[in-house]
Structure 1
Amino acid sequence: MTTALSRDCPALPPAPRPTRARAPSGAIARTAGLLALLVVAACGGGQPPAPAAPPPAPEVGVVVVAPERQVVTTELPGRTTASLAAEIRPQVGGIVQKRLFTEGAEVRAGQVLYQIDPAGFEAALAAAEAQLSKARAALATAESNARRNAELVKIDAISRQVHDDSQAAAQLARSDVEVASAAVRTARINLGYTQVKSPIAGRTSTSTVTPGALVTANQAAALTTVTRLDPLYVDITQSSTELLRLKNELASGRIRRDGNGEAARVAIVLDDGSTYAQTGRLQFSGVQVNPGTGAIVLRAELPNPDGLLMPGMYVRAVLEAGVNEEALLAPQQAVARDPAGNASVLVVTPEDKVERRRIVTGAAVGNRWEVLSGLAAGERILVDGSQRVRPGDSVRPVPWTPRSQGKAEAPAAAAGNAG
């Protein structure tokens, strides 16, 4: 007797072999039928199994894109420059007697830095003053003769020629006095130049001469340099292409100037990556493009009360170019790029479906990209869980929390679970 069974049911055990003490044939048939009924009941009557339930939609972290007020900045290379610098050179020649300042110290405007031997200039001044006295005495005699001859010529006591000569002699004597007076002033100025003074207030550099050195008037080598370090200038280089792009954005109204009427603020990033505590102001923008580099020069004025910055330092200047009142920003980890560099994001539609969207990004703002096109305010972009889904999949979106905040909240959540 053959019994048909399903694939999931085990085979029937073989019928026991009859022993020598043969059982009645009716008893064997009843036993086989009972076994078949038990097997069929155990296999569910041959019905197929119920289908498995579909897996739940994966959970993903999303961020809702909302317009924000964003200050548009541009980071440019620059170098610090002294706002005032004076190279100190002697205006008369002689032997340096004294150096009257400490190298690297602050000096006042008009402070004496060097003393040149004044002996020769004092003698020149005395000689000039003597010449002036002689000229004044000659003038007194000439004027007395001119006055007397003017009276005599009226009564025809002298000739007209004698009168004219006396008047000319008096005029010549007056000119001699003026020449002698100018010589005295020149000698006095030269004597004053023996004291080499600082024309500005600032900090001195090293001295190139010592007492006993011979210096000459207007020599090529400076004795020292005085530099004013507060405020300091920062000369910034900007490409003409970037300048044109900024002007086009301003003209289109996408960004606008800050309406406070003040000059644009400039933040400084130092060579070690730290940000300088003081904020500067843009002073002017260049009007000519360097034909070799295609760049123009901007100049900012920066407070330097502690003297931390020095002329010639390389810095990065973060310049505020304008304000975008409705900027759309996307986390950088949500933005993917193809081999051609095109940016895209995964957008969660209102039906909780995943959709890939091509976008155009602008400048980096912290850890986010500015989105110029491709997204609208209120749309949800997928930030966490992109490895588990593909475009077209259904998802269960939840608000995304930055990793730094999640770490801070993790101990509190663990403490709550422990309680």
Structure 2
Amino acid sequence: MNIVKKMLLHKFTIIFALIALCIGGYYGWEEYTKPPLEAKYKFHTLELGDVTQSVSANGTLNPLVLVTVGTQVSGKVIKLYVDFNDRVEQGQILAELDPALLDAQAAQSAASVQSAEASLELAIANEKRSRELFSKEYISKQELDVSVQELKAARAALNLALAQSQKDRTNQGYTIVRSPVSGVVVDRQIDVGQTVAASLSAPVLFKIAQDLRQMQIDSNFAEADIGRIKVGQKVTFAVDAFPNNAFVGVVKQVRLNATTVSNVVTYDVVVTVENPDEILIPGMTAYVNVILAEKKNVLIVPNAALRYKPTMPPSKDAKPTTPKKEKKERGSATLFVFENGVPKPIKVSVGISDNRMSEIITDELKAGDKIIVEENKYSTATSATGGGSHPPMRPF
């Protein structure tokens, strides 16, 4: 019986020893394979770089000077001398209207001038004769005054006929449409055979861009950004037609006339653009960035690092309290470095930002230092529950 007890005791001792050995081996393996505390965080190495602060908007490319060519007379288009994209010189003939009606009117006016000249000659002769008769007292003073008045009226009628004739000849010349400037025809709104009517307003025949090597962008900026935009600031922009090209310009004008659409207030900012190769075309959409400030070779950090706050698991004995909001100084932020196994806060001054990277000013950090950007998700989750640092197993 004692032998049986001894055998059972020996058997249980071996079982307990094996269990203890397994438990100790598991915890030893877990401690051995547990990643270091640094693995809980994602780091960023500080470096020197360039940062540019800008505001963005969309705009439309337009010629710097766009001349609208119309006509002061009505008529049918009988000839066209230019077409879209043609280069023209100042004074060059663009189109010709049918002059038949205006020629007839000019001829009628010329005939009226001849009639007025004949009437004037007769009035001069009558006035001269009346003076001779009055000197011999053959007619009264009243008859002489009538002759003088008829002479003046004849001269006025001649002047009126000459003015009408000049007007008709001028209108006759308007049937030849000429270019007022040198440039490129960007729009043609007439065809041969079409009748243009210049009754209340001059119809538009052509649109001529004076010089496509000089262009401008009419862009709309929100009222929140307009206060920081000044004349003379540098502008960079891109267009869909040339996605790999970077274009530059200069702010020429900030127009004070606001536009309100759906309660959104915008202001027109005019940007001048050099286009020596004439690859930019009127009407293109430009994605404009007005550069507000630039810094070269400064210490920069990702904006995510400025937003990072370490998560500390609460102790079991701690009572829940409402967190107090810390007063944050304007232009300052807190970065965290890993030191002695815990995140250490370092207060820095924040300069300009490009919405991705920001300039920082501090004497405690330098290029090459590592700062905490964020915590690994699985590490945060397991530390909060008191578990190990291993990633959670994927459920099947």
Answer whether TM exceeds 0.5 for this pair: yes
1:337 aligns with 2:307: yes
Q: Classify the secondary structure of the residue corresponding to 1:380.
A: coil
1:131-142 counterparts in 2 under 5 A?
A: 131-142=112-123
Contact 1:107 1:202 in 2 (8 A): yes
Contact 2:238 2:245 in 1 (8 A): yes
Q: How many residues align?
A: 311
Contact 1:348 1:380 in 2 (8 A): no
Q: TM (normalized to structure 1)?
A: 0.61
Q: Give the match for residue 264 of structure 2.
A: 293
Structure with the higher fraction of residues in strand conformation: 2
The alpha-carbon deviation at position 333 of structure 1 amounts to: 7.6
Q: Give the match for residue 87 of structure 2.
A: 106
Q: Give the match for residue 232 of structure 1.
A: 215
Amino acid at match of 2:100: A
Partners in 1 of 2:259 and 2:195 — Cα distance? 43
Contact 2:61 2:217 in 1 (8 A): yes
Structure of higher CA gyration radius = 1
Q: Classify the secondary structure of the residue corresponding to 1:290.
A: strand
CA deviation string 1:212-248 (max 9, x = no partner): 333333578644433343321211222222234x38x
Contact 1:65 1:376 in 2 (8 A): no
The alpha-carbon deviation at position 203 of structure 1 amounts to: 2.3
Q: Classify the secondary structure of the residue corresponding to 2:125.
A: helix
Relative to structure 1, is the Cα distance of residues 63 and 362 closer, same or farther in structure 2, using a 3 angstrom cutoff? closer
Q: Alignment partner for residue 312 of structure 1, among 283, 293, 297?
A: 283
1:379 aligns with 2:365: yes
Amino acid at match of 1:233: Q
Q: Classify the secondary structure of the residue corresponding to 2:147.
A: helix
Relative to structure 1, is the Cα distance of residues 221 and 166 closer, same or farther in structure 2, using a 3 angstrom cutoff? closer
Relative to structure 1, is the Cα distance of residues 296 and 180 closer, same or farther in structure 2, using a 3 angstrom cutoff? same
Amino acid at match of 1:345: L
Relative to structure 1, is the Cα distance of residues 152 and 348 closer, same or farther in structure 2, using a 3 angstrom cutoff? farther
Q: Give the match for residue 75 of structure 1.
A: 56
The alpha-carbon deviation at position 100 of structure 1 amounts to: 0.8
1:16-27 counterparts in 2 under 5 A?
A: none
The alpha-carbon deviation at position 197 of structure 1 amounts to: 2.2
Q: Classify the secondary structure of the residue corresponding to 1:307.
A: coil
Partners in 2 of 1:388 and 1:308 — Cα distance? 46
Amino acid at match of 2:270: R
1:211 aligns with 2:192: yes
Q: Classify the secondary structure of the residue corresponding to 1:287.
A: strand
Relative to structure 1, is the Cα distance of residues 63 and 210 closer, same or farther in structure 2, using a 3 angstrom cutoff? closer
Q: Classify the secondary structure of the residue corresponding to 2:142.
A: helix
Q: Give the match for residue 190 of structure 1.
A: 171
- Structure 1: which 5+ residue stretches go unaligned? 1-55, 248-256, 391-419
1:22-41 counterparts in 2 under 5 A?
A: none
Partners in 1 of 2:71 and 2:44 — Cα distance? 74
Partners in 2 of 1:388 and 1:166 — Cα distance? 110
Relative to structure 1, is the Cα distance of residues 89 and 138 closer, same or farther in structure 2, using a 3 angstrom cutoff? same
The alpha-carbon deviation at position 312 of structure 1 amounts to: 2.4
Q: Give the match for residue 224 of structure 2.
A: 241
Q: Classify the secondary structure of the residue corresponding to 2:65.
A: strand
Q: TM (normalized to structure 2)?
A: 0.64
The alpha-carbon deviation at position 306 of structure 1 amounts to: 2.7
1:5-404 counterparts in 2 under 5 A?
A: 63=46, 73-150=54-131, 152-154=133-135, 156-205=137-186, 207-217=188-198, 222-228=204-210, 229-244=212-227, 246=228, 263-271=232-240, 273-277=243-247, 279-291=248-260, 292-321=263-292, 329-332=299-302, 335-338=305-308, 344-347=334-337, 355-357=344-346, 363-365=352-354, 368-371=357-360, 375-377=361-363, 379-380=365-366, 384=370, 386=372
The alpha-carbon deviation at position 180 of structure 1 amounts to: 0.9
Partners in 2 of 1:74 and 1:275 — Cα distance? 19
**Greater mean deviation of Cα atoms: 301-310 or 172-181:** 301-310
RMSD: 4.2
Amino acid at match of 2:86: A
Q: Classify the secondary structure of the residue corresponding to 1:110.
A: coil
Partners in 1 of 2:208 and 2:121 — Cα distance? 50
Q: Classify the secondary structure of the residue corresponding to 1:163.
A: helix
Partners in 1 of 2:359 and 2:100 — Cα distance? 73
Relative to structure 1, is the Cα distance of residues 101 and 266 closer, same or farther in structure 2, using a 3 angstrom cutoff? same
Partners in 2 of 1:321 and 1:161 — Cα distance? 87
Partners in 1 of 2:207 and 2:244 — Cα distance? 30
Q: Classify the secondary structure of the residue corresponding to 2:258.
A: coil
Query: Percent identity of the aligned residues?
Result: 22
Relative to structure 1, is the Cα distance of residues 139 and 321 closer, same or farther in structure 2, using a 3 angstrom cutoff? farther
Relative to structure 1, is the Cα distance of residues 174 and 64 closer, same or farther in structure 2, using a 3 angstrom cutoff? same
Q: Classify the secondary structure of the residue corresponding to 1:263.
A: coil
CA deviation string 1:96-147 (max 9, x = no partner): 2211113321222322121222233223222211211221222232233334
Q: Classify the secondary structure of the residue corresponding to 1:104.
A: coil
- Structure 2: which 5+ residue stretches go unaligned? 1-35, 310-324, 377-396
Partners in 2 of 1:105 and 1:148 — Cα distance? 66
The alpha-carbon deviation at position 83 of structure 1 amounts to: 2.5
Partners in 2 of 1:366 and 1:235 — Cα distance? 25
The alpha-carbon deviation at position 172 of structure 1 amounts to: 0.8
**Greater mean deviation of Cα atoms: 97-106 or 152-161:** 152-161
Relative to structure 1, is the Cα distance of residues 369 and 146 closer, same or farther in structure 2, using a 3 angstrom cutoff? same
